[in-house]
Chain A
């Protein structure tokens, strides 16, 4: 059920990711059925949903880690689920992914972690790769910590370093899995500003999996809300508009943070 399609991004702007008829799950267990949505160029697109609703699973389908049970996910110019090795690699070079736990390599310094995609995908001289990696770390506020090991910095700093690594190749689409989870409000707000800066000034399309409402209301251009019960999209649109206009009781409870017995505020 789609409630709204309001967005700050022009409806006619380029579609970067197109999902049609996506059914996802594992073997006989179906998590979501017939998902249809588009992600447009330059927007901050948030996948919302309760715990266990399949947000991270959807993201993993969008980056080709999981195969859908049915349906298509067009990323770049190809159906990523059907893409072969070379084509999949070409698509994945154009996206950056930050995983929920950061997934930094523990045996490498932050600088080496961020430099790694450049070493793999470019033929730049080491001096240039170092400069780019240090600048990316500075962009996320970690310029002074380039020579630290991941184990020597906090969880929030690890997430920021992971974002620096995800965007070091200037990807067109940046996927962020729970970027604000577990962060203090100030660090979380800093991260929100960084995400907005990337989208607005570097023209990145950003797809975020989250259930941090403060962050979602602050940065999201558009959200889809996955509902575990109906196994589909409960609502799609601008989060503030959804909160004010949606008639869907679960959407209301979710966006207003009310428990199931509480009356909807007037």
Chain B
């Protein structure tokens, strides 16, 4: 049942048996400030302005939010005209006797009028001000003497620059602290493996590793298919389709497998780590851990980092295998049988290809899990900061992965790996 504005609504007699209930006499629909036309149809807001014998504004009816929507500009312009007409008079009378309802918006308009006229050097005399208008207007007048508790404008570039440097310094400090504490925690876990929360570690490993298998399978398979297909088209011109196996195997094992796995891990698990720890930070659960004497690094971060270290090489290896299967399926279409393809793969790959890729995967796993936890612990307060932490975790992880991949490429080249 949609209630038309200005329309009284008939309700079942059982609920509203008549005048005693009052609903039919003063329904919500008929008389409230937020219902403009309903109210306005009975008592429309109106004003008139006269310059003689003295400048005078008369307001009447319901001064509600809808009246203010219509009259905010025109009424103030009319008041300014009055000032011009009545220059030298020194005062304008505003007759509020006919105002029967005034909400917060109405009071805002009255206060704006008052200020407009005061700016023109004209005193305003409100006449016939009722209790409701007085109450609504009170906070506007109080605000005139309120100083903001903190300046928000005009800080200047120098303090802003110093603040910026300060923030960068703090961020660098917290990151170095985190790396130091994490290294210490990992070292401690090697010396005292029983102190590690292996249950949590395996749970995280399951979530980050086993549960990621479907998406890793899909992406790796398609990657193998695309890689094989694109290179096979070119290779066919030279009758060298069989060498697609070499290309796909080496690029997957050395480069694409670990890289793709790391990006998936960052988007899936790094973000989850940041969101989980960030929410705990917002809810003061991290503080609760500290006050109970539990080190958040050992309790929250270490299981996630160890899980990252554990699952990253396994996921990379799995992605490599699935990628090869994808490539092998494509090569069937180019007349390369399964046996020939995998025979070519085993002859093309060396152990250094395998282990260089897995070493990178371990480092990527460490970076993704570490960055996720760091951003989680750096979360400020409020829901928005959890979102910022999550975004920051993914972006930082991906940047670091790509940069580290470049570093590994140069390093392996010089080491002859």
Which chain A residues have a beta carbon within 8 Å of chain B's beta carbons? Answer: 12-16, 18, 20, 41, 72, 74, 76-78, 83-84, 86-87, 90-91, 93-94, 105-107, 121-125, 127-128, 131-132, 134-136, 138-139, 143-151, 168-172, 197, 201-203
Contact = CB atoms under 8 A, between A and B. Distances in A.
B148 interface: yes
Given A106-B385, A138-B143, A87 B20 contact: no
Nearest to A85: B2
B25 interface: yes
A123 B108 CA distance: 14
A132 B1 contact: no
A128 B20 contact: no
A147 B34 CA distance: 27
B34 A86 contact: no
Contacts of B27: 76-77
B72 A125 contact: yes
Given A94-B32, A202-B135, A136 B1 contact: no
B105 A124 contact: yes
B142 interface: yes
Contact of A93 (B9, B34, B152): B34
B397 interface: no
B73 A147 contact: no
B65 A124 contact: yes
Contact of B22 (A13, A87, A128): A13
A16 to B, nearest CB: 8
B324 interface: no
Interface in B62-83: 64-65, 68-69, 72-73
A246 B124 CA distance: 55
Contacts of B135: 197, 201-202
Interface string B127-160: 0000110011011101100111110100000000
B21 interface: yes
A202 B136 contact: yes
A134 B144 CA distance: 11
B22 A107 contact: no
B143 A135 contact: yes
B11 A151 contact: no
Interface of B: 1-3, 9, 11, 15-16, 20-23, 25-29, 32-35, 64-65, 68-69, 72-73, 103-105, 107-109, 111-112, 131-132, 135-136, 138-140, 142-143, 146-150, 152, 380-385
Contacts, number: 143
Max chain A C-beta neighbours (<10 A), residue from B22, B26, B105, B150? B105
Contacts of B152: 147
B22 A131 contact: no
A145 B151 CA distance: 10
11 contacts: A18-B15, A41-B22, A77-B9, A83-B1, A87-B2, A131-B111, A138-B143, A144-B146, A150-B382, A170-B104, A170-B105
Q: Which of B16, B131, B146 has the most CB of A within 10 A?
A: B146
B45 to A, nearest CB: 14
Count chain B CB atoms within 10 A of each CB in A91, A132, A144, A145 and give the residue with the most. Answer: A132
B131 A14 contact: no
Contacts of A201: 131-132, 135
Q: A-B pairs with the 9 shortest C-beta distances? A: A106-B382, A14-B22, A107-B384, A151-B381, A76-B28, A138-B139, A170-B103, A144-B149, A201-B135
A167 to B, nearest CB: 8
Contacts of B64: 170
B149 A148 contact: yes
A123 B107 CA distance: 16
A131 B15 contact: no
Contacts of A87: 1-3
Nearest to A153: B149
Nearest to B383: A106
Contacts of B131: 201
A135 B107 contact: yes
Contact of A172 (B9, B28, B111, B112): B28
Contacts of A149: 382
Contact of B15 (A16, A74, A169): A74
Contacts of A76: 27-29
